[in-house]
């Protein structure tokens, strides 16, 4: 009789273990899916704010004459058109790469919560013209982009920040 009672107890324990195993497997699947898809904010106001302010920054590059200096927005267009900074004696794209890396580096260094940043400059329906990135992304991603019209072409500047 005692054996029968033990058997019932063992059956219940096996049932409980089965439930535990099923739930743990379910949770593992959920965890893997939720950790894979880290939340992405596609139209972040904070990142858009950085892009807007950066676009207005007056650079030292004058394409036509001094003091008609390009802002970064103008410099993106000049880079796309293959212009040259007349006063600096270098290509607009080279100067853009150099100065933008410096500005972004300093801005991002002032915000300790930023682990990674990436700036992509590309033609709307074509290839990339410039890419600047630094750090490793592990947290939540915020993205914003701005369009610049140059003639009939639409240029896109997209920025991605990881916190």
Partner 1 sequence: MRNVVRGQMKIQQMAVMIVAVFFFFVLVGLFFLGIVFKDVKGSAGDLQKEQAISSLKVIADMPELNYDSSWSMCVDEDKLRVMSGNFGRTYDLFWPVASVEVYRVYPKFDEVKKCPGVGCNYYEVFNNGQRDLKTYSSYVSICRKVRESGSTYDDCEIGKLVVGVKQASSAENR
Here the tokens at position 56 are 């207005």
Q: Which of 7, 14, 18, 20 binds partner 1 (CB under 8 A)?
A: 20
Distance of CA 50 to the CA centre of its chain: 13
Q: Which stretch binds partner 1 (CB under 8 A): 12-20, 85-93, 129-137, 144-152?
A: 12-20
Q: Are 85 and 63 in contact (CB under 8 A)?
A: yes
61: Cβ contacts below 8 Å, ≥ 6 apart? 69, 70, 75, 78, 85, 87, 88, 92, 95, 96, 99
Q: Which stretch binds partner 1 (CB under 8 A): 2-10, 82-90, 119-127, 128-136?
A: 2-10
Q: Which of 90, 107, 123, 130 binds partner 1 (CB under 8 A)?
A: 107
Strands of 36-163, DSSP E: 40-41, 58-62, 69-71, 84-85, 90-91, 116-123, 128-135, 141-150, 153-162
In the bound complex, what is the minimum distance in angstroms from residue 36's beta carbon to partner 1? Answer: 13
- Residues 46 to 85: which contact partner 1 by CB under 8 A? 46, 49-50, 52-54, 56-58, 66-69, 71
Residues that bind partner 1 (CB under 8 A): 1, 5, 8-9, 12, 16, 19-20, 23, 27, 30-31, 34, 39, 41, 44-46, 49-50, 52-54, 56-58, 66-69, 71, 103, 106-107, 109-110, 140, 142
């Amino acid at each position: 009789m005692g054996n029968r009672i033990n058997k019932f107890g063992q059956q219940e324990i096996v049932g409980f273990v089965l439930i535990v195993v099923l739930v743990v497997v379910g949770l593992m699947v959920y965890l893997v899916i939720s950790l894979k898809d880290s939340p992405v904010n596609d139209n972040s106001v904070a990142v858009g704010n950085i892009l807007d302010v950066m676009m207005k920054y007056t650079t030292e590059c004058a394409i036509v004459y001094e003091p008609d200096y390009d802002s970064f927005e103008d410099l993106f267009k000049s880079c796309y058109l293959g212009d040259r900074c007349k006063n600096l004696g270098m290509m607009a794209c080279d100067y853009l790469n150099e100065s933008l890396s410096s500005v972004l580096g300093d801005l991002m260094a002032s915000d300790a919560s930023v682990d990674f940043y990436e700036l992509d400059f590309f033609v709307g329906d074509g290839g990339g013209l410039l890419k600047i990135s630094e750090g490793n992304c592990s947290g939540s991603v915020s993205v914003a982009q701005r369009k610049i019209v140059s003639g009939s072409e639409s240029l896109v500047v997209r920025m991605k920040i990881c916190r």
